[in-house]
């Protein structure tokens, strides 16, 4: 079968004559392509992948993908910094011109044939074109500032047709889908550069100021070329395969590196088989596209692993990815999970064989202060389940069969790849490792250099065992249903144990049960076909504990209820474990974490305290969080406490419900304390496309505020005799948080004993193709009833009173000084301090805030609105100035210029008019950097 398909592939041929211009970073290309119609249908058009043109403008599939990931570099690029393909001519073998066009994504070329191409016939097409390479600041591909080049997916390749065309745009996912072709590249490049390629070098010569190389790739999908001013690549010849690599480990000896490469080569040969090509390109660039995530990405001087281990894992991962990409021709957009499964399964096996005692935190696991952490006790291979559960616990996990371009960033890069590898390890634990190992070798032997489908691998696996493994492809691979079992009860009957196991998620997969005695394994069982709840009988081997999934081979969603003590009721109670700082989960303890905190506002001053909470590194449904602090300035305790319960309901639509009650207390003025007690309920909605940033929320809360005033400040209270109040608040929020187009609006209703009000806010941001950004915000609020006699509950034009105590004011009661200049963009959203009679509204208010950028983060802003108070005419208000938008919503400065006050820049004490936004919350700042992950 292999030889037959190889003969068919040989009829896909292409020969390129290429010249690199180092001054313009352009490739002049003449390409002769022989296209063979191996389908049973007549063809009138042929499609070519033109992924080099994905950098051409702001509307390509690549640019849109970047926008989803909060990357705007390609959107903001100048014309000279883009990559393009310019087609000069397309002719057939009779030199007749052929019509061509590009599809909507702009990186697929459609060529209309002059004559119908019949089944099992071939035709020749000659294409002359120029590729302008992009700089490598968007992706690793293109040219760098040191004069080097990394060329991948840089020339036209045939799209796959198997009864329908598979046309996939470049989305920076490493999944070009093209027919396997015999390729010859005749390449001219400057004499100052050194060349490395995954293709074979057939001929290399020099001529004045240049070099010529002929590269050949037989039965390969695409040619990669790396050009550098230095000769970085070395060749390592082992008995089984030859590596061309520039992966280095400066603190690991060259002899040691050579021995490690031979060790890795032997492992790959033993577990896969013979590699069919002459060499394997293993480059640092390839590794950086799919690195060892986690501690390996720390700076080299603080990485916790031994150099040998780190080098071998790095080399092994990059080699496996290259080998599988060059040999198993799956549909990389639809079925890439299988290559990931094999690669990560072998990574797991390598560590089990050569480094069984390797800890996830490496050397840190032995250091005092670190070794007590659960994270330090985790084995290196535990990271696969841990990182998969990072998205599963957030209800963002996706099925392995999900198309590559529909996966969120974290799943595409990490979680799904790890889940795939875990799946094979899980299967190996169930049917026997030797059966899975042999199935992988058989699959590689008979299907390398072939167009292959997942069904082929499934067939081999099923033939290797008599056990039913349909669950693996039906439930584990094809769905995002979670695996979660618990031991409901255990009953001793004479010399047996009746074990009742409950399937909490309904995912019908096998589950392992271990019997432990003095923490040593004395028995192990597998149980299957537990749809809801089943009772099994096992021998009583005097175990003192039964544990599900003890070796953690199964990527289970929740392991906190996986064990049952056989020593009696009291022994089943989990002990309380206190741990400094947040840690990984230990299912055998009730964990409480503590960490020092330091809070600040001008009334409490610096308030050190201790935060106590149960939230682990993985999200959990029920969370408590207490943070008592001591205010040295007020000589009193302050802080907060809250209980929350989160229930995920589905993947889309109404996907989450949050229940909570919280309380906080602090000082809002000198010797004046507030205490808030707030029960709440909220529901979240999201679309089926998890890549979408659109979210909707409905929230209900009942805010109860109790205040104690300093005697000299009683005039600030709404009712001096009863300064407490309660407010029911309902809000609907609709938000689409895109980096190019941002839309957000909410409708809010508040009901209290002496007032009721409604408000509406809409915010819009647009980054235009000329790199101008427009920011617009509209706010309108109306009292339905109002019996108050102060402006404490009124709509505010420039500085809300924050009677619900929602905002992070550093000095919420200040009306002068630097702290009064802090601005929260809410309600009126004005930046200038206007006359006191216009700053609040006890009837209605409507305002518009706008800004646009002049240059990078320097913007002009303007605000306008109407303010209506009861018993007075509405007043038109306005202001304008300069906005320094350093980090939107996190750090901004507003410099007023002109308003109802006149020319503010010419007025005295101008520094007191400047407003600022500053965010000091670590959680909020972290969200700025992690928003693209999920």
pLDDT digits (tens, 9 = 90+) for 737-757: 888 889 999 999 999 999 999
What angle is formed at CA 430 by the lines to CA 428 and CA 434, rounded to 5 degrees?
A: 40
Cβ proximity of 914 and 893 under 8 Å: yes
**Is it the case that residue 302 has pLDDT exceeding 80?**
no
Which stretch of 34-38, 607-611, 709-713 has the lowest confidence by average pLDDT?
Answer: 709-713
User: Which pLDDT score, from 0 to 100, does residue 770 have?
Assistant: 78
User: Which pLDDT score, from 0 to 100, does residue 72 have?
Assistant: 85
User: Which pLDDT score, from 0 to 100, does residue 718 have?
Assistant: 53
Cβ proximity of 830 and 847 under 8 Å: yes
User: Which pLDDT score, from 0 to 100, does residue 519 have?
Assistant: 83
Alpha helices in 291-381, H assignment, sequence order? 307-327, 336-354, 374-377
Beta strands in 755-835 (DSSP E): 755-767, 773-786, 795-796
Q: Could you please state the CATH topology (level 3) that the domain comprising 485-573 is classified under.
A: Immunoglobulin-like (2.60.40)
Nearest-angstrom CA–CA distance, 54 and 108: 9
- pLDDT tens, residue by residue, 340-383: 999 999 999 999 999 999 999 888 888 888 888 888 899 999 99
- pLDDT tens, residue by residue, 776-815: 999 999 999 999 988 999 999 999 999 999 998 888 888 8
The helix (H) or strand (E) run that includes residue 8 is helix 2-9
Q: Of 483, 490, 505, 502, nearest to 430 (Cα)?
A: 483
> pLDDT > 70: what percent of the chain?
95
- The reply to whether 1-232 and 485-573 are identical in fold is yes
User: Which pLDDT score, from 0 to 100, does residue 4 have?
Assistant: 36
What number is the average pLDDT over the span 310-324? Answer: 96
What length does the chain have?
A: 934
Nearest-angstrom CA–CA distance, 153 and 564: 55
Would you place residue 851 in the very low, low, confident or very high pLDDT band (cuts 50, 70, 90)? Answer: very high
Positive or negative torsion for Cα 181, 182, 186, 191: positive
More confident site: 231 or 711: 231
What angle is formed at CA 512 by the lines to CA 511 and CA 514, rounded to 5 degrees?
A: 150
Q: What are the C-alpha distances in Å from 673 to residues 631, 639, 791, 836? A: 12, 11, 20, 26
Would you place residue 29 in the very low, low, confident or very high pLDDT band (cuts 50, 70, 90)? Answer: very high
Would you place residue 710 in the very low, low, confident or very high pLDDT band (cuts 50, 70, 90)? Answer: confident
What number is the average pLDDT over the span 614-643? Answer: 94
Nearest-angstrom CA–CA distance, 457 and 558: 30
Cβ proximity of 429 and 410 under 8 Å: no
Which option is the CATH number for 248-480: 3.40.50.300, 3.30.60.50, 1.10.390.10, 1.10.10.10? 1.10.390.10
Nearest-angstrom CA–CA distance, 866 and 331: 60
Which option is the CATH number for 1-232: 3.90.1210.10, 3.90.1200.10, 3.40.50.10380, 2.60.40.1730? 2.60.40.1730
User: Which pLDDT score, from 0 to 100, does residue 509 have?
Assistant: 95
What number is the average pLDDT over the span 479-484? Answer: 93
More confident site: 225 or 79: 225
More confident site: 221 or 865: 865
Cβ proximity of 509 and 483 under 8 Å: yes
Would you place residue 2 in the very low, low, confident or very high pLDDT band (cuts 50, 70, 90)? Answer: very low
More confident site: 337 or 921: 337
Would you place residue 573 in the very low, low, confident or very high pLDDT band (cuts 50, 70, 90)? Answer: low
Would you place residue 716 in the very low, low, confident or very high pLDDT band (cuts 50, 70, 90)? Answer: low
Average pLDDT over the chain reads 91
Write the CB contacts of 253 (distance below 8 Å, at least 6 apart in sequence). none
Nearest-angstrom CA–CA distance, 85 and 498: 70
> The tokens 């109860």 sit on which residue?
704
- Three-state SS across 11-43? CCEEEEEEEEECCCCEEEEEEEEEEECCCCCCE
What number is the average pLDDT over the span 404-430? Answer: 95
**Is it the case that residue 222 has pLDDT exceeding 60?**
yes
Domain extent listing, the chain: 1-232, 248-480, 485-573, 738-934
End-to-end C-alpha distance for the chain, whole angstroms? 43
**Is it the case that residue 452 has pLDDT exceeding 70?**
yes
Positive or negative torsion for Cα 193, 199, 205, 209: negative
Nearest-angstrom CA–CA distance, 671 and 359: 52
**Is it the case that residue 301 has pLDDT exceeding 80?**
no
* pTM, 2 dp: 0.91
- pLDDT tens, residue by residue, 58-70: 889 999 999 888 8
> pLDDT > 90: what percent of the chain?
75
Q: What is the DSSP letter of 476?
A: I
> The tokens 């432990």 sit on which residue?
516
């Amino acid at each position: 079968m292999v030889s037959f398909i190889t003969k068919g592939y040989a009829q896909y041929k292409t020969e390129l004559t290429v010249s690199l211009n180092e001054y313009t970073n352009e490739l002049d290309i003449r390409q002769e392509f022989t296209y063979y119609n191996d389908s049973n249908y007549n063809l009138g058009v042929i499609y070519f992948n033109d992924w080099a043109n994905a950098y051409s403008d702001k509307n390509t599939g690549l640019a849109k993908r970047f926008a989803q990931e909060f990357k705007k570099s390609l959107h903001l690029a100048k014309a000279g910094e883009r990559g393009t393909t310019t087609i000069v001519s397309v002719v057939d073998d009779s030199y007749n011109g052929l019509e061509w066009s590009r599809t909507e994504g702009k990186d697929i070329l459609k060529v209309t044939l002059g004559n119908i191409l019949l089944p099992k016939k071939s035709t020749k097409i000659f294409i002359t074109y120029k590729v302008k390479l992009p700089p490598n600041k968007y992706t690793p591909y293109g040219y760098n500032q040191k004069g080097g080049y990394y060329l991948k997916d840089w020339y036209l390749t045939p799209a796959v047709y198997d009864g329908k065309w598979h046309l996939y745009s470049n989305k920076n996912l490493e999944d070009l889908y093209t027919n396997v072709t015999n390729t010859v590249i005749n390449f001219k490049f400057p004499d100052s550069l050194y060349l490395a390629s995954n293709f074979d070098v057939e001929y290399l010569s020099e001529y004045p100021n240049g070099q010529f190389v002929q590269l050949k790739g037989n039965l390969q999908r695409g040619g990669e070329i790396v050009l550098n001013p230095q000769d970085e690549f070395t060749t390592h010849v082992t008995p089984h395969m030859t590596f061309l690599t520039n992966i280095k480990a400066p603190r690991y000896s060259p002899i040691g590196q050579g021995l490690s490469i031979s060790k890795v080569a032997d492992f790959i040969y033993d577990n896969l088989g013979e590699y069919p090509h002459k060499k394997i390109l293993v480059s640092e660039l390839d590794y950086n596209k799919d690195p060892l995530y986690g501690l390996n990405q720390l700076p080299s001087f603080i990485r916790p692993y031994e150099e040998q281990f780190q080098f071998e894992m790095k080399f092994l991962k990059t080699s496996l990815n290259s080998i599988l990409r060059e040999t198993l021709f799956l549909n990389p957009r639809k079925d890439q999970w299988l290559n990931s499964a094999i690669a990560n399964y072998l990574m797991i096996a390598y560590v089990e064989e050569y480094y069984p005692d390797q800890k996830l935190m490496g050397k840190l696991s032995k250091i005092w202060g670190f070794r007590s952490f659960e994270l330090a006790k985790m084995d290196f291979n535990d990271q696969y389940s841990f990182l998969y559960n990072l998205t599963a616990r957030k209800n963002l996990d996706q099925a392995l069969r999900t198309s590559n371009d529909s996966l969120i960033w974290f799943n595409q890069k990490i979680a799904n790849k790890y889940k795939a590898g875990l799946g094979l390890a899980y299967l190996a634990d169930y049917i026997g490792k030797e059966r899975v190992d042999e199935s992988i070798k058989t699959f590689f032997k008979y299907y390398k250099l072939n167009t292959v489908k997942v069904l082929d691998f499934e067939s081999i696996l099923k033939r290797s065992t008599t056990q039913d493994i349909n669950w693996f492809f039906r439930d584990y691979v094809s769905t995002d249903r979670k695996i979660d079992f618990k031991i409901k009860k255990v009953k001793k009957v004479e010399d047996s144990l009746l074990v009742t196991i409950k399937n909490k998620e309904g995912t019908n997969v096998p589950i392992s049960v271990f019997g432990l005695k003095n923490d040593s394994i004395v028995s192990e069982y597998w149980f299957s076909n537990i749809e809801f709840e089943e009772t099994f009988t096992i021998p009583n081997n005097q175990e003192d504990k039964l544990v599900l999934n003890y070796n953690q081979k199964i990527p289970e969603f929740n392991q906190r209820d996986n064990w049952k003590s056989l020593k009696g009721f009291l022994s089943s109670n989990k002990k309380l474990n206190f741990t400094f700082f947040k840690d990984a989960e230990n299912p055998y303890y009730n964990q409480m974490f503590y960490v020092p905190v330091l809070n600040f506002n001008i009334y409490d001053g610096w308030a050190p305290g201790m935060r106590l909470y149960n939230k682990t590194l993985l999200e959990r449904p029920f969370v408590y969080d207490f943070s008592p602090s001591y205010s040295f300035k007020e000589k009193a305790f302050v802080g907060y406490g809250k209980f929350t319960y989160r229930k995920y309901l589905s993947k889309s639509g109404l996907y989450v419900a949050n229940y909570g009650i919280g309380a906080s207390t602090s000082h809002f003025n000198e010797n004046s304390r507030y205490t808030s007690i707030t029960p709440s309920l909220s529901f979240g909605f999201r679309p089926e496309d998890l890549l979408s940033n659109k979210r909707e929320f409905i929230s209900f809360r009942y805010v109860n505020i109790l205040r104690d005033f300093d005697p000299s400040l009683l005039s600030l209270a709404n009712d001096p005799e009863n300064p407490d109040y309660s407010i029911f608040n309902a809000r609907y929020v609709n938000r689409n948080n895109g980096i190019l187009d941002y839309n957000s609006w909410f409708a809010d209703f508040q009901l209290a004993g002496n007032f009721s009000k409604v408000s509406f806010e809409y915010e819009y941001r647009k980054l235009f193709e000329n790199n101008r950004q427009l920011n617009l915000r509209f706010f309108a609020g109306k009292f339905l009833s109002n019996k108050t006699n102060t402006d404490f509950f009124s709509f505010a034009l420039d500085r809300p009173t924050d009677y619900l105590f929602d905002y992070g004011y550093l000095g919420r009661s200040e009306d002068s000084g630097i702290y009064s200049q802090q601005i929260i963009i809410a309600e009126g959203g004005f930046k200038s301090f206007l006359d006191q009679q216009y700053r609040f509204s006890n009837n209605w208010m409507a305002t518009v805030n706008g800004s646009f950028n002049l240059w990078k983060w320097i913007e002009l802003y303007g605000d306008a609105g109407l303010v209506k108070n009861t018993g007075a005419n509405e007043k038109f208000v306005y202001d304008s100035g300069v906005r320094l938008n350093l980090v939107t919503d996190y750090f901004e400065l507003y410099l007023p210029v002109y308003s109802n006050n006149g020319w503010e820049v010419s007025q005295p004490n101008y520094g007191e008019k400047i407003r600022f936004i500053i965010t000091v919350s670590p959680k909020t700042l972290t969200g700025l950097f992690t928003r693209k992950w999920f």
